[in-house]
Amino acid sequence: MIQQNFIQLYENSFRNNFNLPALTDYKGGRSYTYGELAGEIAKFHLLFTAIGIQKGDKISLIGKNHSSWSVVFMATITYGAVIVPILHEFSPESIVYIIKHSDSKLVFINDSLWETLHHEKVNVPVFEIPSYSLLKSNDGRVKEEVNSLDDTFRRNYPNGFAKEDIRYPEVSNDEVVCLNYTSGTTGFSKGVMITANNLAGNVTYGQKLDLLFTGERNLAFLPMAHVYGCAFDFLYALATGVHITLLGVIPTPQNLINALKEVKPHLIITVPLIFEKIYKKKILPITGNPIVRLLLKIPGINHLILNIIKKSLIDSLGGNFREVIIGGAALNAEVEAFFYRIKFPFSIGYGMTECAPLISYDNHYDFVPTSCGSVLDGIMEARIDSDDPENIPGEIQVRGENVMKGYYKNPEATAAAFTEDGWLRTGDSGIMKDKRLFIKGRIKNMILTANGQNVYPEEIESKLNNLPYIAESVVVLRDFKLVALVHPDAASVTADNISRERLEEIMQENKGILNKSVAGYEKISSIEITDGEFEKTPKKSIKRFLYS
């Protein structure tokens, strides 16, 4: 058990940082100091009490990153209730299912999302965010309490809300505080029971690493309904006295660049897709130029060119960060190699929702290429299900402070997720050297070829996706042969006026280029062009089961 009580972290932070900025909506909305945030939380605590919410009750929260989303999340967990953050990208049917399956007693949702749901299937009070107005309730008492909430708050705090008023109920670290529903590539959704201890393990480890300091800034652009963005862009930052700016708009490259230049964050938490797009759209056109390619072979001049690229990249990301942490999926190997070559301050971590999320991490100055960091010292343990764990890949299995309690109302899935001796099965294949993990790919994605070779399609796709006019790809096995399904980069195809016939010729050329760079058993027999984008989970992972 982590010694630091999770809820106490925020009671202390809100008091100690009472007058410092806590939350700001990037476009419109409003800003909160830590004291104002604590005041809003106190108001919700009064409402929860008045309408009969009990400790341990579930509250669903559906919407994009916004200060109101943040208020509801913190109000729920500091009350002793259980938050159920639901990704706004889930289908209406999935949202209704999760509300029911989680036994939620209240729902907070954006009005635009509410309009997509079958209202008659949601039979608990529903509040709109960001206004907090009541959208639906079959209980007249709820409406009365909402209408009189401001008066109730003034009666309870006649002299105004002060830092001394910040007092939260005792919530043991072994209690569940969050139900996070996964939406994986298999198509099934499970409610991960995340305890206060799981989140305390992640937050206190971040504080131990000094990733951020009181009064610094970060930009939250990953969805905070997903545990990766929630744990580090939000919970860790709030526990440390950081000023969080919530992007709240679609994180297109231009939106991100504009926001990063304005906010100038001290730490950037991101996913591989962002950096892969930067590499393909901004860097490859430069390094692929014949003259530049020649200059990069000349000692001295090559360092000059690479330093110019590095400085330009750092400036475009705000120019003020100490490190970029990449997680959520594997980074393209070619992209990783380039950023490591220019000594860009980045690191790759590894985790999963079931570990809330972190399993391994290294600071950028300790990062080893192709690794995903070292297993968290004193927090987590890992082992490889292999006779030779340093050389022969096997399933990565973990245990420790960050491991979930199980899947909500799903004992069968919980039992299947753990080994007989209590280690969590990650479903990832890899090796481990001196507690540093190297991932090969997802076990369920692994392809066994006719000659008995294990092929990890992610490795082939990583190479394919850097070839001309390829946006994304999926490698599958058909008639004992590897076939690449490819979705073209429509913008590049249009800009270069590439005909369909020429595009097919280019894909044949790409096949030849790829097959020269992979092992014999990894060569693909053909490339098939897929006009529509591949269907993805809200985490932007391709739903492979639809194409295999």
Q: How many Cβ atoms are within 10 Å of 326's Cβ, its own excluded?
A: 24
Q: What is the DSSP string of 21-75?
A: EEEEESSSS-EEEHHHHHHHHHHHHHHHHHTT--TT-EEEEESSS-HHHHHHHHH
Residue 184 has pLDDT above 60, yes or no: no
Q: Are 228 and 357 in contact (CB under 8 A)?
A: yes
| pLDDT over 90 at 192, yes or no | yes
Euclidean distance between CA atoms 464 and 507, whole angstroms: 10
Contacts 24+ apart (CB under 8 A), 343-348: 343/310, 344/310, 344/313, 344/314, 345/321, 346/275, 347/323, 347/373, 348/372, 348/373
Q: Which one has a higher pLDDT value, 274 or 227?
A: 227
Rounded Cα distance between 217 and 84, Å, is 27
**pLDDT (0 to 100) of residue 445:** 85
Sequence-distant (6+) residues with CB within 8 A of 186 are: 444, 545
What are the residue boundaries of the structural domains of the chain, listed by start?
6-200, 267-319+322-443, 448-546
User: How far apart, in Å, are the Cα atoms of 89 and each of 66, 223, 226, 315, 349?
Assistant: 15, 10, 11, 32, 24
200 or 543, higher pLDDT: 200
- pLDDT one-digit tens code per residue, 27-60: 887 999 999 999 999 999 999 999 999 999 999 9
- Note whether 527 and 511 are within 8 A (CB): yes
Alpha-carbon distance of 189 to 91, in angstroms, equals 12
Is 2 in contact with 378 (CB distance < 8 Å)? no
Of 212, 209, 252, 204, the C-alpha closest to 233 is 212
- Average pLDDT (305-330) is 94
Mean of the per-residue pLDDT values of the chain: 93
Average pLDDT over residues 145-165: 96
Q: How many CB atoms lie within 10 A of CB 303?
A: 12
Of 87-96, 242-251, 488-497, 532-541, least confident by mean pLDDT is: 532-541
Please give the full DSSP string across 312-352, using - where no structure is assigned: HHHHHTTS--SEEEE-SSPPPHHHHHHHHHTT--EEE-EE-
DSSP 247: -
pLDDT at 498: 94
- At 183 the pLDDT is 66
- 220-232 pLDDT, tens per residue? 999 999 999 999 9
Enter the tokens of residue 444. 């369920």
Lowest mean pLDDT among 390-394, 491-495, 516-520: 516-520
Per-residue model confidence (pLDDT) at position 518? 86
**Token digits of residue 290:** 């014949």
Contact at 8 Å (CB) between 64 and 223? yes
Cα distance between residue 84 and residue 26, in whole Å: 24
Task: Say yes or no to pLDDT of 457 above 50.
Answer: yes
Give the whole-angstrom CA distance, residue 41 versus residue 515.
58
Q: CATH: 3.30.300.30, 3.40.50.300, 3.30.70.360, 3.30.70.141. Which one for 448-546? A: 3.30.300.30
The DSSP code sequence of 406-470 is EETT-HHHHHHHB-TTSPEEEEEEEEEETTEEEEEEEGGG-EE-TTS-EE-HHHHHHHHTTSTTE
Per-state percent for the chain, helix, strand, coil, to nearest 5? 40, 25, 35
pLDDT at 11 over 70: yes
CATH fold for the domain made of 6-200? Rossmann fold (3.40.50)
Least confident of 32-36, 116-120, 515-519: 515-519
Judge whether 6-200 and 267-319+322-443 match in fold.
Answer: yes
Provide, rounded to the nearest whole percent, the portion of the chain with pLDDT above 70.
98
DSSP string, 295-306: HTTSTTHHHHHH
> What's the pLDDT at 185?
41
Residue 378, pLDDT score = 95
Alpha-carbon distance of 21 to 27, in angstroms, equals: 16
Q: Which pTM value belongs to this model?
A: 0.88
Give the Cα separation of 360 and 466 in Å (integer): 27
**Assigned CATH for 267-319+322-443:** 3.40.50.12780
pLDDT grade, residue 68 (50/70/90)? Answer: very high
Dump pLDDT digits (tens) for 331-372: 888 899 999 999 999 999 999 999 999 999 999 999 999 999
Chain segment 362-392, per-residue pLDDT in tens: 999 999 999 999 999 999 999 999 999 999 9
Residue 492, SS3?
Answer: helix
Q: Cis check for the bond before 488: say yes or no (omega within 30 of 0).
A: no
Which tokens belong to 300?
Answer: 């001295």
The rounded distance, in Å, linking the Cα atoms of 450 and 453 is: 7
Q: Do 200 and 105 touch, CB atoms closer than 8 A?
A: no
Residue 101 predicted with pLDDT over 90? yes
The pLDDT score that the predictor gives to residue 539 is 63
Sign of CA dihedral 34, 35, 40, 46: positive
Return left, alpha or beta for 435; rule: phi > 0 is left, psi -120 to 50 is alpha, else beta.
left
How far apart, in Å, are the Cα atoms of 444 and each of 448, 456, 545? 11, 10, 10
78 near 41, Cβ under 8 Å? yes
Asked if omega into 357 is within 30° of 0 (cis), the reply is yes
Cα–Cα distance list, 73 to 86, 148, 403, 427 (Å): 11, 22, 21, 30
Is pLDDT of 186 > 70?
A: no
Mean pLDDT, range 201-214, rounded to an integer? 97
**CA nearest to 476, candidates 507, 503, 449:** 449
